[in-house]
Amino acid sequence: MDLSKVIRDIPDFPVKGIQFKDITPVLQNIDAFKHSLDELENIILDVDFDVIVAIESRGFLFGAPLADRLDKPLSVLRKPGKLPAAVVQKTYKLEYGEATLEIHNDALKPGDKCLLVDDLLATGGTVAASAALCEELGGVVTGCLFLVELCDLPGSEALSNYPIFSLVKYGKDI
Amino acid sequence: MDLSKVIRDIPDFPVKGIQFKDITPVLQNIDAFKHSLDELENIILDVDFDVIVAIESRGFLFGAPLADRLDKPLSVLRKPGKLPAAVVQKTYKLEYGEATLEIHNDALKPGDKCLLVDDLLATGGTVAASAALCEELGGVVTGCLFLVELCDLPGSEALSNYPIFSLVKYGKDI
Is residue A163 scored above 70 in pLDDT? yes
Ramachandran region, residue A97 (left: φ > 0; alpha: ψ -120 to 50; beta: rest):
left
Residue in chain A nearest B51 by alpha carbon = A28
ipTM above 0.95, yes or no: yes
Query: Euclidean distance between the first and final Cα of chain B, in Å?
Result: 17
Query: Euclidean distance between the first and final Cα of chain A, in Å?
Result: 17
Average pLDDT over residues B122-132: 95
Average pLDDT over residues A123-141: 97
Contact B127, B55 (CB under 8 A): yes
Give the contacts of B16 (CB within 8 A, at least 6 positions apart): none
Q: Which of A98, A121, A132, A128 is nearest to A170 (CA)?
A: A121
Give the whole-angstrom CA distance, residue B33 versus residue B73: 21
Average pLDDT, chain A: 96
**Radius of gyration of the CA atoms of chain B, in A:** 15
Is residue B174 scored above 70 in pLDDT? no
> pLDDT tens digits for B140-154?
999 999 999 999 999
Hey, is the C-beta of B62 within 8 angstroms of any chain A C-beta?
Answer: yes
Suggest the residue from B61, B69, B78 to mutate for an interface test with chain A (most A CBs closer than 10 A): B61
State the pLDDT at residue B17: 85
Give the whole-angstrom CA distance, residue B87 versus residue A108: 37
Give the whole-angstrom CA distance, residue A1 versus residue B131: 33
Give the whole-angstrom CA distance, residue A4 versus residue B137: 27
State the pLDDT at residue B111: 98
Pure H helices in A13-142: 24-28, 30-43, 58-70, 125-136
Q: Which of A23, A34, A39 is nearest to B70 (CA)?
A: A34
* pLDDT above 90: percentage of residues in chain A: 91
Q: Which of A47, A37, A5, A24 is nearest to A147 (CA)?
A: A37
Is residue A38 helix, strand or coil? helix
B33 and A65 within 8 Å at the Cβ level: the answer is no
B41 is catalytic: no
Give the whole-angstrom CA distance, residue B132 versus residue B126: 10
Of A28, A69, A75, the CB nearest to B73: A28
State the pLDDT at residue B80: 97
Backbone angles phi, psi at A41, to 5 degrees: -60, -45
Is residue A107 helix, strand or coil? helix
Cα→Cα distances A97→A9, A56, B79, Å: 21, 17, 18
Give the contacts of A50 (CB within 8 A, at least 6 positions apart): A72, A73, A112, A113, A114
Annotation: CATH topology of B47-170:
Rossmann fold (3.40.50)
- Would you place residue A97 in the very low, low, confident or very high pLDDT band (cuts 50, 70, 90)? confident
> pLDDT tens digits for A51-72?
999 999 999 999 999 999 999 9
Q: Which of B115, B134, B123, B72 is nearest to B96 (CA)?
A: B123
- Would you place residue A15 in the very low, low, confident or very high pLDDT band (cuts 50, 70, 90)? confident
Q: Which residues of B touch A115 (CB under 8 A)?
A: none
Backbone angles phi, psi at A165, to 5 degrees: -130, 125
Please give the sequence-ordered ranges of beta strands (E in DSSP) within B56-151, or none if there are none. Answer: 74-77, 87-93, 98-104, 113-121, 140-150
In angstroms, what separates the C-alpha of B13 from chain A's closest C-alpha? 6
> pLDDT tens digits for A17-52?
888 999 999 999 999 999 999 999 999 999 999 999
Cβ-count burial B119-148 (b if 16+ within 10 Å, e if not)? bbbbbbbbbbbbbebbeebebbbbbbbbbb
Ramachandran region, residue A44 (left: φ > 0; alpha: ψ -120 to 50; beta: rest):
alpha
More confidently predicted of A102 and B173? A102
Every domain of chain B and the residues it spans: 47-170
